[in-house]
Amino acid sequence: MSKFVLVAARKGKEILDSEYRDFIKSTGLLPTQLDHVVLDSESAEVGDLSSYDGIFVGGSPFNVMDENYAPEQSHVQAQLMTLLHLPVPKMFVCFGQSLLTFELGGVVGSSYSEPAGSTVVELTEAAQADPLLQGLPRQFEALTGHTESVEKLPEGAVLLATGPTCPVQMFRLGEDTWACQFHAEMDAQGLEARMLYYLNKGYFDPAEFDNIMSRVKQVDTSDVKRILHNFVAFAAD
C-alpha cells in the first residue's frame, strides 16, 4: 500500500484538521495512507521522510517577503527546504511555491495577489507532457487566496500553468518536484473553513464573505483535483 505524508506549516488544531481533511478528500487516499507532520514551533522537525512514496506541503500564513522573520518562521522555512533534496516526489502548495521561488533565486512580489475565491488556470505547452496534468482541459477553475506570488521563476523551473490574474500558477523543478499557487486540495467547504479561520488576515474583505462563498459554491473543482490524483499515481508507480 502506498504511503504519503502531508507537511503542514501552520498552527491551530481546527485549521490543521481541516487542511488534512481537504487532502484526504481530494487525493482519494485513506487516512492510513496519509501521515501528518506539523511544523508549528522552533523545535518541530520534518524528520526522515525518505521512505514515503510522496510528500505534500500545504499552505501557510507565513510570507517570504516579510522583512524580519521570527525565529519560528526561519526554522520552519529551513525545514521545508530540506525536502527539496529528497529523492521522493513532492508537491508544494501556495506558500510553498513562493518559498521555493524565493530560496532558489526567483522573484516573489505582491503584484499578482489574488483574494480568496476562484481563479482561472491556463495550461502551457510544457504542461502537455507533464504527468500531473494529463487529462486536464487547457483551462479550468481552481480556488485560491494569496498575498504573495511569483514574479520571476527560479532558474531551471518549467512553467506549467498561468492565468489572467496570476502569471505563474504552477511550475516544475527537475522531474519530481511541483509547486502550484492555487489550492488543488480545496473545494468550497475547505475554502470556507480557511476563510473563517483567517477572517481578518488580509486575504479578502470580510464584508464580502457571503458573496465570495456564493460564487465559489458554483465552481467545479473536479478538474483541479485530477492534479492530485495524478500526483498520487505518479508517486506510487
Domain enclosing residue 139, as ranges: 4-236
Number of domains in the chain: 1
The pTM (predicted TM-score) of the whole model is: 0.95
In the prediction, which pLDDT does 194 show?
A: 87
What is the side-by-side order of every strand in the sheet holding 34-38? 34-38, 4-8, 54-57, 90-93, 177-180, 170-173, 158-162, 114-123, 139-146
Among 148, 149, 176, 175, smallest CA distance to 89 is for: 176
Q: What is the pLDDT along the chain (237 residues), one digit of tens a residue?
A: 899 999 999 999 999 999 999 999 999 999 999 999 999 999 999 999 999 999 999 999 999 999 899 999 999 999 999 999 999 999 999 999 999 999 999 999 999 999 999 999 999 999 999 999 999 999 999 999 999 999 999 999 999 999 999 999 999 999 999 999 999 999 999 999 988 988 887 888 999 999 999 999 999 999 999 999 999 999 999
Sign of CA dihedral 118, 179, 58, 39: negative
Q: For 40-69, what is each residue's pLDDT tens digit? A: 999 999 999 999 999 999 999 999 999 899
Among 110, 92, 100, smallest CA distance to 153 is for: 100
CATH of the domain at 117: 3.40.50.880
